[in-house]
Amino acid sequence: MFHQLFLCFVAESFGQNYPEEADGTLDCISMALTCTFNRWGTLLAVGCNDGRIVIWDFLTRGIAKIISAHIHPVCSLCWSRDGHKLVSASTDNIVSQWDVLSGDCDQRFRFPSPILKVQYHPRDQNKVLVCPMKSAPVMLTLSDSKHVVLPVDDDSDLNVVASFDRRGEYIYTGNAKGKILVLKTDSQDLVASFRVTTGTSNTTAIKSIEFARKGSCFLINTADRIIRVYDGREILTCGRDGEPEPMQKLQDLVNRTPWKKCCFSGDGEYIVAGSARQHALYIWEKSIGNLVKILHGTRGELLLDVAWHPVRPIIASISSGVVSIWAQNQVENWSAFAPDFKELDENVEYEERESEFDIEDEDKSEPEQTGADAAEDEEVDVTSVDPIAAFCSSDEELEDSKALLYLPIAPEVEDPEENPYGPPPDAVQTSLMDEGASSEKKRQSSADGSQPPKKKPKTTNIELQGVPNDEVHPLLGVKGDGKSKKKQAGRPKGSKVPLALNDLLPDASTSFCFVSLLFICLVYSEE
């Protein structure tokens, strides 16, 4: 009985570990398409349809940096482990690596087909996994610009998705026939495999593979609208052509909803799936498999991407080009900090006790300090910093000292005062003269051509055998072959009758004759 009361108290005090309501939006000005948190959840990178990457400071909910990355829409993003680098893919088949602090491009890779996904190696940011359309996955080595094409189960079926596991030791790939391959990352050797089947012997296509940040679990989103959760240790134990059973099967039995994007919570205890039909997020508890919450966005909007905060119960979703934030309902509970705290509905007359508010109580006798009172006089260490457990992996003891958690932002002052705390005017004049002389020297050096130009990023062409070059990214719609864009005969249904002269008259000469005739008629009518 006491155990049940304690659990109820904990649930009531701290709430659940999943979001419960909308908590505002992030407007990137241009249309947002994809988003991803860094490892600590302090920065959120958003890829837009105009090729820009907008980096938000998630604590202040303000834009920290804008990188003009691509010309075409950004379709995939991934942070490096230390947060200093970003890898992005655009719909023009280009993969780029960016320095987050400077905003410069380190190097580019041009692929023959559109890119569906890019992912850094979880422990080695020199390796990037790329999933092109109608091609086997490719692993890039950034230091020497080399690439390795991963082996596939069936050469005729190249609709393959891939993902690193939690520590990057293995790469999991899945094809349209439901076959999952587990490859050793260093040697690309096959260590395990199994096939995802439906209730009968029929197979189903693999749409995505996602791993939890903690534990060994991963999920598989398939075309039969079922999310299957597996234990990675069991997969490796079964070996090749194994028959592992999923830990959970998650689905919407009522509406048979297909899933656009699925991912784990930061602690790996919950799973969120975004509907491919509408802006709706379904949240399940992984251990039990029960549906705990459905978050509904604006009706009529289509979901594009979903990302769960690595540490907090917060979800970011994208629909109609806007990033929506979902969080818990924050209720102030002062009694949690002071047990004797009471909220009053109206003023209450308070009777002051004797010497209650005196600076020094003359009548008070000092008791002997024992136990907890004696411990208060001990020195408290306020200089050493203990690592935050949520930011460390299970095989790590210390946090990364070189990690990039925040970006510096210069404050914008609308009406600055005229030098309130600065140097005297004479010193300002001297500094201005020195700046003018130095700028003149810079102009002369640039005119002489001695100033080195900005380094252009190296572009490497990736050649893939047997990959069609006319594929169009799913974000851009159908192929532009003209067959699917036939012009309808007559006026389109629902269109209004044109009222302008330019709409009524076919060309400029006819409109000129019409205006001239109209002018002559007006002249004769006046006479």
Confidence of residue 386 (pLDDT cuts 50, 70, 90): confident
184 Cβ contact partners less than 8 Å away, ≥ 6 residues apart = 169, 170, 191
Top pLDDT among 356 and 438 is at 356
Which residues are registered as beta bridge partners of 174?
161, 180
Secondary structure string (H, E, C) spanning 385-399:
CCCCHHHCCCCCCCC
**Is the torsion defined by CA of 59, 34, 309, 44 positive or negative?**
negative
Cα distance between residue 249 and residue 483, in whole Å:
40
Mean pLDDT of 147-158: 88
Report the SS3 class of residue 187.
coil
| Per-residue model confidence (pLDDT) at position 203 | 84
**CATH architecture of residue range(s) 17-327:** 7 Propeller (2.130)
- Read off the pLDDT of residues 107-125 as tens digits, 9 standing for 90 and up: 999 999 999 999 999 999 9
| Per-residue model confidence (pLDDT) at position 498 | 37
| Per-residue model confidence (pLDDT) at position 395 | 63
285 Cβ contact partners less than 8 Å away, ≥ 6 residues apart = 269, 270, 292
- Read off the pLDDT of residues 235-258 as tens digits, 9 standing for 90 and up: 999 999 999 999 999 999 999 999
| Per-residue model confidence (pLDDT) at position 444 | 52
23 class by beta-carbon count within 10 Å (0-12 exposed, 13-18 middle, 19+ buried):
middle
E strands in 196-258: 206-211, 217-222, 227-231, 248-250
| Per-residue model confidence (pLDDT) at position 366 | 62
No. of helices (H) and no. of strands (E), the chain: 6, 29
% the chain with pLDDT above 70:
74
| Per-residue model confidence (pLDDT) at position 437 | 54
Top pLDDT among 65 and 432 is at 65
| Per-residue model confidence (pLDDT) at position 522 | 59
φ/ψ region of 339 (left if φ > 0, alpha if ψ in -120 to 50, else beta) reads alpha
Cα distance between residue 35 and residue 65, in whole Å:
14
Other Cβ atoms less than 10 A from the Cβ of 82: the count is 15
- Read off the pLDDT of residues 31-83 as tens digits, 9 standing for 90 and up: 999 999 999 999 999 999 999 999 999 999 999 999 999 999 999 999 999 99
Report the SS3 class of residue 198.
coil
| Per-residue model confidence (pLDDT) at position 94 | 96
Report which of 325, 282, 279, 286 is spatially closest to residue 301, judged by C-alpha positions: 279
Contact 273, 227 (CB under 8 A): yes
| Per-residue model confidence (pLDDT) at position 350 | 82
Q: What angle do CA 394, 400, 401 make, to 5 degrees?
A: 150
Report which of 213, 232, 229 is spatially closest to residue 221, judged by C-alpha positions: 229
Judged by average pLDDT, the poorest of 90-94, 166-170, 417-421 is 417-421
292 Cβ contact partners less than 8 Å away, ≥ 6 residues apart = 16, 18, 270, 283, 284, 285
The values of phi and psi at residue 11, to 5°, are -65, -40
Judged by average pLDDT, the poorest of 295-304, 355-364, 464-473 is 355-364
| Per-residue model confidence (pLDDT) at position 518 | 63
| Per-residue model confidence (pLDDT) at position 252 | 94
Contact 61, 70 (CB under 8 A): no
Output the six-digit token pair for 513: 């004759």
Could you write out the DSSP letters of every residue in 367-386?
PPP-THHHHTTS----S--P
Contact 266, 18 (CB under 8 A): no
Relative to beta strand 458-461, strand 105-110 is parallel
Cα distance between residue 324 and residue 505, in whole Å:
48
- Read off the pLDDT of residues 490-516 as tens digits, 9 standing for 90 and up: 334 443 333 333 443 344 444 555 556
| Per-residue model confidence (pLDDT) at position 105 | 95
Which residues are registered as beta bridge partners of 317?
306, 324
Residue 441 has pLDDT above 90, yes or no: no
Mean pLDDT of 301-309: 95
Contact 146, 460 (CB under 8 A): no
Domain boundaries, the chain: 17-327
Residue 267 has pLDDT above 80, yes or no: yes
DSSP type of residue 476: G
Report which of 251, 308, 292, 242 is spatially closest to residue 275, judged by C-alpha positions: 251
Cα distance between residue 120 and residue 85, in whole Å:
10
| Per-residue model confidence (pLDDT) at position 109 | 97
Cα distance between residue 24 and residue 131, in whole Å:
33
Output the six-digit token pair for 265: 């919570």
Size of the chain, expressed as the number of residues it contains: 527
| Per-residue model confidence (pLDDT) at position 83 | 94
Could you write out the DSSP letters of every residue in 279-304?
SEEEEEETTT--EEEEEE-STTPPEE
Please provide the average confidence, as pLDDT, over all residues in the chain: 81
85 Cβ contact partners less than 8 Å away, ≥ 6 residues apart = 79, 97, 98, 99, 100, 106, 120, 125
3-state helix, strand, coil in the chain (%, to 5): 15, 30, 55
Residue 473 has pLDDT above 60, yes or no: yes
Top pLDDT among 124 and 360 is at 124
Mean pLDDT of 435-448: 51
